[in-house]
Structure 1
Amino acid sequence: MAQAAAQATIGSSEFDRDTAVVQRAPGVYDARLSEGWTIIQAVNGGYLLAVLGRALGEALPHPDPFTITAHYLTASTPGPAEIRTETVRTGRTMSTGTATLVQRAEDGSDVERIRVTAHYGDLGALTDEVRTTAKPPAMPPYEQCLGANDGPGASVIPGSSAITDRLDLRLDPATAGWAVGSPSGNGDMRAWFGLADGRDHDPLSLLLAVDALPPTAFELGVLGWVPTVELTVHVRCRPAPGPLRVAISTRNLAGGFLEEDAEVWDSEDRLVAQSRQLARVLQV
């Protein structure tokens, strides 16, 4: 598999540095949102969820997100941010918490960007039993999929594409027609997914993975910014080392909104995360 030659150690990668939080007071954490995770007009929603997820992982007694739901209230911008967490309930196997991400406006007022509710637990304590009818997405091998240098990609639409340099993303050619002006008309997007520095995946990077592919709206022939309104992620187990496969689909674009359902599969053919989001479609 044509991944980065050396696997970065979790804790020393760009993703870890850019999602780092520092506790300033009980339940309050400082963060700096990196411009390296911007796309088109704003900071990527999956990256933002990972930042909030890290803060909750430090605030709650359990380490791993089981389910996390975010409502995106206003567009976040690169720079300082404050995360305010609250522990709602603590149990033996799960704990529940909330978090808000706030940034300072030019007039000095605080602007709430995101509000999150999450259940945390220990993925390592779950049983190995699996009963499922779900199947990994049918995709060409990594080497036969398309990377950022294989076509115009994000340059098709105006704005930042900095996030593409942070990712090792290879699109299934069947879902990349939008990049050459020939969208399929199907609301599907599939890709091999990794971090550019080779960092192995963990639950926090799964929060990024569900929202890091080009929007399914592109394959419907609608180019532009597709900001997330609400995103819920279910993390099912810790991913095995190696690349992930991400499959996203939408069945209904109506009234300027669409839903996206995502599945994330690891190198051992396990379904490691699922998500659904509602997003606006703002054409260019």
Structure 2
Amino acid sequence: MTELGDALRLEQSGTGWAGELSDDWAIGEAVNGGLLMSLATTATARSSESAGGHRDPLSFSGVFLSPGTAGPVLVEPQILRSGRSMTTAQVTVSQDVDGRSVERSRALVTLGDLDRYAEPVLKTVAAPDIPPPDKCLSASDAPPSTLTKSGFLQRFDARMDPATIGWAVGEPSGEGEMRGWLRLADEAPIDAIGLLLVLDAFPPVSFDLGSSGWVPTVEFTGYVRGIPAPGWLQLRLHTTHVAGGLLNEDCEVWDSTGRLVAHSRQLASARFPASLD
């Protein structure tokens, strides 16, 4: 069992699927939202498949209602419609807190057959030209304070484009863009569901604008466009609008063949220096 496979392990339980969240996938006190998205989609895909529906994630649109913490978790999918080409579902992720069920996230998930939508490619976004992984900076080279209480960072081998890493030494560029490479630390392959985790795996782009600290997601919409080929994934994060402590963060992911396999947009909250407020 891979580290990610173990984190996404679920068993049927009552009205849903039971799993276990671990600090190994936490940043600070909260389990990474991308892991919650992959966990929710895993349960939804299994419920859909058992009902004769589809398995591959096409889209995920969700809100995060409270931070996930280490401990038991319940994922409850509800199939809303299953057609010939797509299945639509609603899914909630919740945890017991002092005897009370607390919802962590709620989402709408669309499932289908990714191979059906792979070709022909009429228009796409090319990956930016950046240095290869061995010429980029590893997360292990980051200042110690960046790694504090973050088991999540240890689950990945992340390599950042040196041109977009100034924030890590107190010199953010102000451009609002990050680029780099990513793979799991154990080099296990990443499937379509794992791409939802990847879309939320890089440091928030707000860091390049001088922000620091927790950057909670208000709303997230992600799209999976293909099953990635083995090897490094290339990521680009950028923002086009920042105002009043809110920003949009766009992410694009390409596989080792240069094919766009996932992209997303999220609305996030962040604190900025007074000059950027």
TM range (shorter): over 0.9
Aligned to 1:166: 155
Whole-angstrom distance in 2 between the partners of 1:41 and 1:257:
22
Whole-angstrom distance in 1 between the partners of 2:137 and 2:113:
36
Count of residue pairs the alignment pairs up:
269
1:124-163 residue pairs with structure 2 within 5 A? 124-152=115-143, 155-156=145-146, 159-163=148-152
Aligned partners of 1:191 and 1:245 also within 8 Å: yes
1:272-283 residue pairs with structure 2 within 5 A? 272-282=261-271
Query: Aligned to 1:104, what secondary structure does the other structure show?
Result: strand
In structure 2, relative to structure 1, the CA distance for the partners of 1:195 and 1:92 (3 Å cut) is: same
The root-mean-square deviation of aligned C-alpha atoms, in Å, is 1.5
Aligned to 1:80: 72
Aligned to 1:235: 224
* Among 86, 94, 99, the residue aligned to 1:102: 94
* Among 10, 14, 23, the residue aligned to 2:12: 23
1:144-223 residue pairs with structure 2 within 5 A? 144-152=135-143, 155-156=145-146, 159-223=148-212
Whole-angstrom distance in 1 between the partners of 2:26 and 2:124:
36
Whole-angstrom distance in 1 between the partners of 2:272 and 2:73:
29
Residue 133 of structure 1, CA deviation:
4.5
Residue 205 of structure 1, CA deviation:
1.3
Residue 156 of structure 1, CA deviation:
3.7
Aligned partners of 1:43 and 1:76 also within 8 Å: yes
* Among 32, 37, 40, the residue aligned to 1:44: 32
Whole-angstrom distance in 2 between the partners of 1:248 and 1:283:
18
Residue 231 of structure 1, CA deviation:
0.8
**Normalised TM-score (structure 2):** 0.93
Q: Percent identity?
A: 43
Residue 257 of structure 1, CA deviation:
1.2
Whole-angstrom distance in 2 between the partners of 1:169 and 1:223:
19
Residue 136 of structure 1, CA deviation:
0.6
Query: Aligned to 1:160, what secondary structure does the other structure show?
Result: coil
Whole-angstrom distance in 2 between the partners of 1:282 and 1:35:
25
Whole-angstrom distance in 2 between the partners of 1:57 and 1:36:
24
Residue 180 of structure 1, CA deviation:
0.8
**Normalised TM-score (structure 1):** 0.91
Aligned to 1:71: 63
Q: Deviations over 1:188-237 (max 9, x none)?
A: 11110100001112111110111100111111011110011111111011
Residue 126 of structure 1, CA deviation:
2.9
Aligned partners of 2:124 and 2:260 also within 8 Å: no
Aligned to 1:55: 43
**Paired amino acid for 1:52:** A
Aligned to 1:91: 83
Whole-angstrom distance in 2 between the partners of 1:21 and 1:186:
41
Query: Aligned to 1:54, what secondary structure does the other structure show?
Result: helix
Aligned partners of 2:209 and 2:272 also within 8 Å: no
* Among 80, 89, 105, the residue aligned to 1:114: 105
Residue 127 of structure 1, CA deviation:
4.4
Aligned partners of 2:118 and 2:226 also within 8 Å: no
**Paired amino acid for 1:80:** P
**Paired amino acid for 1:280:** S
* Among 203, 225, 244, the residue aligned to 2:214: 225
Whole-angstrom distance in 1 between the partners of 2:111 and 2:199:
18
Residue 65 of structure 1, CA deviation:
0.5
Residue 119 of structure 1, CA deviation:
0.7
Query: Aligned to 1:74, what secondary structure does the other structure show?
Result: coil
Aligned partners of 1:225 and 1:283 also within 8 Å: no
